[in-house]
């Protein structure tokens, strides 16, 4: 059994390339089905897709890393060479180590952030529902969750971490003198918008509004913050009303275009507008950034902000790596044991066959009226002869070196480490 992983993240690939490989939760099942059908042996597979990364984890009896990469490149509409230049590929213990580091928040743009663990759990559930999760990946991810919990409780890895949402508020505070005087629009109603709205609400802005494609979901979020709710279709005509716009939807195309923002700037009489695009792919057309009086930030632009305080957590990182090392060793030990399962199954089947043969012979002897002691003696003798036949045959076969090696193996298996008498006398 082999485990392999490939992916691209905020450190290896630019935002627009990552956008080609962004998958919403409802896309994971068909995507996994397409991946597994494209590979000859249909391995176990899991797909993790967030604003900062897309990763595929697979497990099977044959490592098919190269074909997995080629399939992902084709699915994203790029050449394998381009994807390979921005992707990382990992196998066995390195793949396990990466999964554990991701779950623990050590591989995140925000060191120690907890959101990735929930996203990883969602990815695992989606793989289970797609029928793509087998025992190997199940073990890998359950162990990664346990390691993440130990890292969270045993270290201060998450202390003082700055989330994307908090970073957005910090940047807005640098542009506007008083956040209590601004009107804020949130586009979308997912987890990231929920976090952003929570952080902005703490600054008591003048007003808040939620624009979402589904009004019901938007109303549910808006009710928590006393915010107005509006339809996405009304966004272009009302964009000028807001001083700050935070967007994060699952749209595959930009929903805030250059033309709409240009009109908003004119209506605002060039008062500054703060915009944060937390979506991958982008929600806001990149050309918007070039407009005067527009301050547009993407997830990658926020990187230097969220790194604040990272140096203070390096000691916690070292502690976390020790926990992860132990987790990797335990997983690889389990995986090594799994590789002997077919042999164990064959041994069990063979011994069951021997037992059945000897029991049938014993029943015949009993039916003939043979004494019970004689029947038991024949039963046990027959079993031991069958069990020892292969070992004894090997001890008498081959050259001296192979017989010596066999003798040690037989001694270790049947005599609990005691060497045969002739070896002790040497």
CA-closest candidate to residue 412, choices 423, 396, 401: 423
Is-catalytic flag, 58?
Answer: no
State the SS3 of the chain.
CEEEEEEEECCCCCHHHHHHCCCCHHHHHHHHHHHHHHCCCCCEEEEEECCCEEEEEEEECCCCHHHHHHHHHHHHCCCHHHHHHHCEEEECHHHHHHHHHHHCCCCCCCCCCCHHHHHHHHHHHHHHHCCCCCHHHHHHHHHHHHHHHHHHHHCCCCCCCCCHHHHHHHHHHHHCCCHHHCEEEEECCCHHHHHHHHHHHCCCCCEEEEEECCHHHHHHHHHHHCCEEEEHHHHHHHHHHCCEEEECCCCCCCCECHHHHHHHHHHCCCCCEEEEECCCCCCECHHHHHCCCEEEEECCCCHHHHCCCCHHHHHHHHHHHHHHHHHHHHHHHHHHHHCCHHHHHHHHHHHHHHHHHHHHHHHHHHHCCCCHHHHHHHHHHHHHHHHHHHHHHHHCCCCHHHHHHHHHHHHHHHCCCCCCHHHHCC
Measured CA angle at 417 (ends 413, 420), to 5 deg: 90
Name the token pair of 6.
């490939």
Give the number of other CB atoms < 10 A from CB of residue 34.
12
Going by their DSSP bridges, the two strands 207-212 and 228-231 should be labelled as parallel
Name the token pair of 40.
């000859």
Which residue in the list 51, 127, 192, 261 is annotated as catalytic? 51
What positions carry a catalytic annotation?
A: 51
């Amino acid at each position: 059994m082999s485990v392999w992983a490939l992916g691209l993240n905020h450190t290896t690939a630019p935002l627009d390339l990552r956008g080609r490989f962004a998958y919403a939760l409802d896309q994971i099942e068909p995507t996994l089905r397409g991946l597994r059908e494209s590979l000859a042996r249909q391995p176990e597979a899991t797909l993790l897709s967030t604003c900062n990364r897309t990763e595929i984890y697979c497990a099977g009896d044959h490592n098919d890393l190269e074909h997995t990469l080629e399939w992902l490149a084709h699915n994203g509409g790029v050449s394998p060479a381009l994807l390979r230049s921005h992707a990382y590929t990992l196998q066995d213990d390195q793949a396990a180590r990466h999964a554990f580091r991701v779950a623990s928040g050590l591989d995140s743009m925000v060191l120690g952030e907890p959101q990735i663990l929930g996203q990883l759990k969602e990815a695992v559930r989606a793989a289970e529902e797609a029928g793509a999760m087998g025992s190997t990946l199940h073990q890998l991810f359950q162990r990664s969750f346990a390691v993440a919990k130990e890292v969270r409780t045993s270290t201060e890895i998450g202390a003082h971490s700055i989330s994307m949402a908090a970073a957005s508020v910090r940047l807005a505070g640098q542009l506007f003198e008083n956040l209590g005087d601004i009107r804020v629009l949130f586009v979308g109603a997912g987890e990231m918008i929920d976090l952003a709205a929570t952080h902005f609400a703490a600054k008591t802005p003048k007003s808040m509004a939620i624009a979402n494609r589904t009004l019901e979901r938007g109303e549910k979020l808006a009710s928590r913050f006393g915010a107005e709710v509006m339809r996405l279709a009304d966004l272009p005509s009302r964009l000028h009303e807001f001083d700050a716009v935070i967007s994060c939807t699952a749209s595959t195309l930009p929903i805030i275009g250059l033309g709409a923002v240009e009109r908003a700037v004119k209506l605002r009489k060039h008062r500054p507008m703060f915009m944060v695009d937390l979506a991958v792919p982008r929600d806001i057309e990149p050309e918007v950034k070039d407009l005067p009086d527009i301050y547009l930030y993407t997830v990658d632009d926020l990187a230097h902000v969220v790194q604040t305080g990272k140096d203070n957590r390096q000691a916690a990182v070292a502690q976390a790596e020790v926990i992860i090392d132990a987790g990797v060793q335990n997983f690889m030990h389990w995986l090594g044991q799994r590789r002997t399962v077919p042999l164990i199954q064959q041994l069990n089947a063979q011994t069951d066959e021997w037992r059945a043969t000897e029991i049938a012979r014993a029943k015949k002897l009993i039916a003939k009226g043979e004494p019970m002691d004689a029947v038991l003696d024949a039963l046990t003798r027959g079993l031991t002869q069958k069990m020892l036949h292969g070992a004894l045959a090997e001890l008498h076969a081959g050259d001296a070196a192979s017989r010596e090696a066999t003798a040690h193996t037989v001694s270790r298996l049947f005599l609990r480490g005691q060497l045969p008498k002739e070896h002790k006398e040497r």
